[in-house]
Amino acid sequence: MNMYAVVNPATGTVEREYPTATDAEIEQALAAADTAFREWSKTSTVAQRAALIKKVAQLHIERREKLAEIINREMGKPVDQSLGEVDFSAAIYDYYADHAEKFLADEPIDLLDGGGSAVIKRGPVGVLLGIMPWNYPYYQVARFAGPNMVLGNTIVLKHAPQCPESAEAIQQIFDDAGFPKGAYVNVYATNEQIADAIADPRVQGVSLTGSERAGAAVAEIAGRNLKKVVLELGGSDPFIVLSTDDLDATVEAAVAGRFENTGQACNAAKRFIVVADLYDDFAGRFTKKVMEIADGLAPLSSAAAAERLSEQVDRAVADGAHLVSAGERNGAFFPPAVLTGVSPASPSYREELFGPVATLYKVDSEDEAVKVANDTPFGLGSYVFTTDAEQAKRVADKLDAGMVFINAVGAEGVELPFGGVKRSGFGRELGRFGIDEFVNKKLIRTVS
């Protein structure tokens, strides 16, 4: 089987294969992107590029059913969630089309000494390389391509090997929207070809969403070649319950926060940290709800992903954890499960469980909850549930995370920056900050 192929995780059927790019095709892609930067980006206005991005948003909506069907086949996402992803992706493109001129406007600087003026002009840096994952095939591309293409950067994009059809569909959208050749170029590249592309002097930056291992490898090559990198890596987000006036609603939020996309989200709630006086009641209701969703749960993205998760869970149990599961793994289908009693000495304690498995922890105080929440290599998102507004602010300040959501899950928005700290990566996407990563903030100082 070719490296790039659509393998339906529900059936294991290889539905379509795509040829891997040749070295000559990679060179053509880089050359086209470089030419588009020099000839199109340098001569187009922000307003003109925003109009093209607006068309990209419109085409996502016009083709939403087809786009949703594609990722349902590729990585198993339920059609209703796939449609939601397409719509959110369109909203991202719309957001940057509507706000680009404001975000990229000249920024005067008040001089402390001397006459004349000083201004910051924001402009593109050149060709960017994007390396995208399989779990949100359209959304991940949108939050990278939307701000950077309206800014004037051009993009060479390598999608996940199991997402070649959605990658093809995205390329078609950019072509049909009217972008010139080379402005956005999809490549079915190997890891070795990507390593060479990062080192290529025409490439000015790299954005990767993926695993720690992939992020470390990309950052190492980029560092040797003095290229800026934005990394959005794993997460083991805490869901902290300190108090509640509606435990059923809190449990519903916990289930939604863990099991959306079958638990395959870097910013999903994964570790549920509950104060002792609520723990037994929460654990009972939560576990009951988790077992009830088993029949309607979609498969993981692949049988290999289910096998990796199974190995992690088995290791946790071997190290003393207790498992409540709704059944046995069957191919890519993994039963929802709840782990308790995971020992801090177990490797599983600090690993990301990427799938429908929740881990519960009992704590005696706010301070202990924060300590357990921060006892992880990751620092992406976090969730705090409490009826005490001052406590919420206090805990949010203490958490080692790039994002804190108080009394809510699913509260992300196109205007809100997304990113983490520690081994969850660095840099931000979405919102005002997402357009400021790969930008030349050029100072122009005039002395009259």
Among 74, 165, 232, 260, the one annotated catalytic: 232
Ramachandran quadrant class, 96 (left: phi over 0; alpha: psi -120 to 50; beta: rest): alpha
Closest by alpha carbon to 305, among 76, 151, 93?
76
Closest by alpha carbon to 5, among 19, 26, 22?
19
Q: Name the DSSP class of 37.
A: I
State the CB neighbour count (10 A cutoff) for residue 123: 15
Structure token pair of residue 107: 């920024």
- Rounded CA separation 31/424 (Å): 32
Phi, psi of 346 (to 5 degrees): -80, 140
Question: In the block, which residue shows the tokens 């994002």?
Answer: 403
Structure token pair of residue 77: 């996402």
Strand partners, 444: 119
Structure token pair of residue 316: 């946790």
| Range list of β-strands (E), 244-295 | 269-275
Query: What angle separates helix 139-151 from helix 46-62, to the nearest 10 degrees?
Result: 160
Indicate the SS3 state at residue 421.
strand
Residue type, 98: D
Among 85, 163, 266, 437, the one annotated catalytic: 266
- Rounded CA separation 369/393 (Å): 14
- Rounded CA separation 300/308 (Å): 11
Q: Is residue 351 annotated as part of the catalytic site, yes or no? A: no
State how far the alpha carbon of 369 is from the alpha carbons of 220, 244, 372, in Å: 35, 15, 5
Query: What angle separates helix 79-103 from helix 139-151, to the nearest 10 degrees?
Result: 20
Closest by alpha carbon to 253, among 413, 384, 365, 371?
384
- Rounded CA separation 166/169 (Å): 5
Q: Is residue 266 annotated as part of the catalytic site, yes or no? A: yes
State how far the alpha carbon of 10 is from the alpha carbons of 71, 75, 218, 356, in Å: 12, 9, 32, 16
End-to-end CA distance of the chain: 67
- Given a contact cutoff of 8 angstroms between Cβ atoms, the answer to whether 439 and 96 are in contact is no
Catalytic residues: 232, 266
